Structure 1
Amino acid sequence: MLKRGKSGRDSVASNSTRGTLEKINSSFSEPDATPPAVTGTGPFKIKRKTVPKSILTDNPFIPLPAGPVHDNPFRDPPRVFIQVDVRYCLSKKQAKYLRFFQSHGDLWQILGSIIRPYGLTVDDKGLHIRVPEGELINRKKAKVLLTSKPDDILMFLGLPVAEYWRPFATTEAMFQYIIKCPMFSLPRYSTFEEEMGLGTANDRRRMASRPVYREWTQEFKPRLREKGLYFENSLTRDEIREKAFNTFPIESEYHTRVQGFIRDQQRQALRKYIKSQVPGAEDNHPEAVKRRSKTIKAMSAIVLDGIDASEFGISAPSYLLRGNGTWDMQRTEDWIRTKVHFVGRYANMSAAEKEKLRSGPAKRRGERG
């Protein structure tokens, strides 16, 4: 049973919590130690700031040994310690998803390496498709969520749903389940680094800390290669993307994300081009440096921010932008090159000079009647 605290977060009701804490005390205490009593009648609130850093030394519910601990096994009876990782979930939905994601140990580490070349990623939030235009710029922003529903994830990856929700008898059984994914394939030939799983820093870290992943890489895959299995796979990243568009309502968001990355890249390129068209002062005279800075700032505001003519006497024509909001780079660079001199003069005029320049055409129109 959950109760809502003042902060808006869920808290565990007192009766359930008291029983849980008493079990923890009785299970982990030293034989002669007296566990601290759990007092209070109100709801027990889990506060992140008070979570112990180490369950072995800082946990208030586990008393420390009463006497000295020696390395000599004949002087102290052997004791077994365990490490418990606690994950705070903000909702029941998140807790259920994490149960799915963490059910089979290294399974998603292995599946992740299989689906990654096809632009897919599974993490503790769900299944994502990555935008290739932004992968190297902002990996987090490049991910578009497809779904957080476990069964939908398995079906999209072509994996049997019912089989996932049962325990695997052996690691071999889990490996056999993994290779049912249609995206799995083996290159006919591999380098020593690839066969040993030593390609990237992440690969080396996984090989050192995850024995199941190491068994998959160094034992299971070589056995398949020796049998001549799973060499070819005709699937492409484009096909997987189209399948995602047809399965989940994310096509519009995906293209919006693509255009956003393209615009960011174009902005950087155009800013660099504008600077190249405004020569620097040879003697680095303060006034010359100031004029150059004003010119670059004005041209950037006109082209990149769409400032109208009232600010700098000229505005960027609409044909510089395509219908999808990105710039026609060739036309934009041509326009910058032909207008940078005028923008530089106008940006460095005094307010009186600008007013005189603006009033000139109006005065001539008035004289013509």
Structure 2
Amino acid sequence: MGGSAFALRVPPLNTPRMPSEIYTRVLQHTLALLQSHYEYCAAPIEGPGKTTFGDVDVLVASPVSESYSPFLKNSFILMKPVAEKLKTLLNAEALITTAGNPTVNFAVPWPDDNYQSASDKRYVQVDVHHLPTAERFQWELFHSAHGDLWNILGATIRPFGLTANDVGLYLRIPEIEALDKKKSLIFLTSDPKRVLDFLGLDEDKWWKQFETQGEMFQYATKNRMFWVKEEADDVKEGDVLTNVDLGQEGGDAGKKKLKHNDRQRMAKRPIFRAWIDEFIPMLRKQGGPKEPEITREQIRDEAFYKFGVREVYEKRLKDWQLARHLEELKRDMIKGQIPPVEEIPEGPPFRSAAIRMLIDVIMGGKEFDGTIPPAARKSEEGFYDLDLVQSFITLNWRRAGELGLAHQQVRAMETMRAKEQKKRKAAEEMDRHACAAGPI
């Protein structure tokens, strides 16, 4: 939380930004304490050029005893007991937990602090992030490294159908992502080495801190999907563009095309802002790479080969296309081809009956006047011939309404008879009980 978690506490605690020496001292002391209780314990590599720090972030996983694990077998996160144990271990004065969140904020006394009163006392915010597995720990350590670097890489790989989040690297299915981003994601890997290899980035350099912001920016340009788009002159403030992801544009035009999340990052993250405002325009003037050397389709095919996800990808796409096909069949073809209520003399009940009957016949396999019509036949993949469906509905929707109403009447009569039979049985049962009890 950047060192601001305890500002809203009552009373608030003073957690000012730390100079490097205080940050390093607190980090090393915290790691030494936690390493006795967790097999995995480390801090992400910091971004370049930082001279002050808002908080100390530490990742932990695989506790040596269950008393230090917030993850229960039923996936429920029970953070409070673990947080209290860590509070004692870290000699923290206060802590903050959030239900369901495996991260705890601690207010640790500032080292060797000389304060005149309690209100002057300073603290260091230490955030301990619990990861459920060693694999997730390694990925988070990788994904959180170098501060804003993944924001930069994410904006570069996004137009090629790749997304990295707190779980791993994913391939997106373009036909799905516009309507359902979550369903469009195909998991590739959470192995940092495989990710860097796929992006074409040097692994050794990744695990070392960059000395300067410029050095980190130059490293980001080695991503094989990086290229600089020519500056557009016809983009106006407020324009909504759908192909905003094609290339790194930067400058004023690039800012107008950024996605909402990226615009938020620009406002809050000075390094990402420098990448967009300064570095990309500088590369453009220097004649940086102006054409991508690879396409989204090539990246997809490489992912199929390297991560073995072709079958998962194709099945997800097929299932989604079939679900959309059936939804459109019901909504647009069956319901949409029948005239509106005001054009049907028999009124709403007739139209509703026609719709229900046509759904039962076409999608449910019910006979229509004693036969299964060709419009109800599906391909091996489950798709219907929409031309046959449309023709059948146009010719038979009125007959479907008649059959539907007749079916409803039969069903209503059966329901009434069943209710009457149930009442008779209940009355007979009461009579038997009365006879068995004898006279009062």
1:195 corresponds, among 245, 251, 259, to 251
Change (3 A) 1:336 1:94: same
**Other structure's SS at 1:182 match:** coil
Q: State the partner residue of 2:347.
A: 288
- In the TM superposition, what are the counterparts of 1:217-236 in structure 2 within 5 Å? 217-236=276-295
1:209 corresponds, among 231, 243, 268, to 268
Q: Once the two structures are superposed, what CA deviation does each residue of 1:67-94 show, in whole Å capped at 9, x if it has no partner?
A: 674xxxxxx5xx5554444433222221
1:24 paired with 2:90, answer yes
1:3 paired with 2:65, answer yes
Please tell me the residue identity of whatever aligns with 2:90. I
Q: Distance in 2 between matches of 1:102 and 1:309?
A: 57
Aligned 8 A contact 1:133 1:261 in 2: no
Q: State the partner residue of 1:274.
A: 334
Aligned 8 A contact 1:312 1:343 in 2: no
CA deviation after TM superposition for structure 1 residue 105, in Å:
1.0
Q: Distance in 2 between matches of 1:52 and 1:92?
A: 15
2:138 corresponds, among 88, 96, 115, to 96
1:109 paired with 2:151, answer yes
Which deviates further from its counterpart, 212-221 or 88-97? 88-97
**Other structure's SS at 1:187 match:** coil
Aligned 8 A contact 1:308 1:314 in 2: no
Q: Once the two structures are superposed, what CA deviation does each residue of 1:300-333 show, in whole Å capped at 9, x if it has no partner?
A: 2333xx3223598554548853333333333332
**Other structure's SS at 2:324 match:** helix
So what's the TM-score if we normalise by structure 2?
0.63
**Other structure's SS at 1:228 match:** coil
Q: Distance in 1 between matches of 2:312 and 2:101?
A: 38
Please tell me the residue identity of whatever aligns with 1:195. G
Q: Once the two structures are superposed, what CA deviation does each residue of 1:187-222 show, in whole Å capped at 9, x if it has no partner?
A: 122458751424343232111100110111111111
Please tell me the residue identity of whatever aligns with 1:331. L
**Other structure's SS at 2:186 match:** strand
Change (3 A) 1:255 1:337: farther
Q: State the partner residue of 2:382.
A: 325
Please tell me the residue identity of whatever aligns with 1:273. M
Aligned 8 A contact 1:128 1:143 in 2: yes
Change (3 A) 1:145 1:314: farther
1:298 paired with 2:298, answer no
Aligned 8 A contact 1:259 1:326 in 2: no
What percentage of residue pairs aligned between the two structures are identical? 30
Q: Distance in 2 between matches of 1:88 and 1:277?
A: 56
Q: Once the two structures are superposed, what CA deviation does each residue of 1:144-167 show, in whole Å capped at 9, x if it has no partner?
A: 111111111111111112221121
Please tell me the residue identity of whatever aligns with 1:159. L
- In the TM superposition, what are the counterparts of 1:116-195 in structure 2 within 5 Å? 116-190=158-232, 194-195=250-251
Please tell me the residue identity of whatever aligns with 2:146. H
Q: Once the two structures are superposed, what CA deviation does each residue of 1:205-261 show, in whole Å capped at 9, x if it has no partner?
A: 111100110111111111111111111224211111111111112111111111222
RMSD, matched Cα: 3.9
Q: Distance in 2 between matches of 1:11 and 1:330?
A: 57
Unaligned runs of 5+ in 1: 30-34, 37-45, 70-75, 355-369
Please tell me the residue identity of whatever aligns with 2:392. W
Q: Once the two structures are superposed, what CA deviation does each residue of 1:55-78 show, in whole Å capped at 9, x if it has no partner?
A: 48xx7x87xx99674xxxxxx5xx
Which deviates further from its counterpart, 327-336 or 202-211? 327-336
Q: Distance in 2 between matches of 1:48 and 1:187?
A: 43
Change (3 A) 1:15 1:333: closer
Q: Distance in 1 between matches of 2:117 and 2:83?
A: 33
Q: Distance in 2 between matches of 1:97 and 1:53?
A: 16
Please tell me the residue identity of whatever aligns with 2:172. R
Aligned 8 A contact 1:275 1:296 in 2: yes
Aligned 8 A contact 2:157 2:163 in 1: yes
CA deviation after TM superposition for structure 1 residue 295, in Å:
1.4
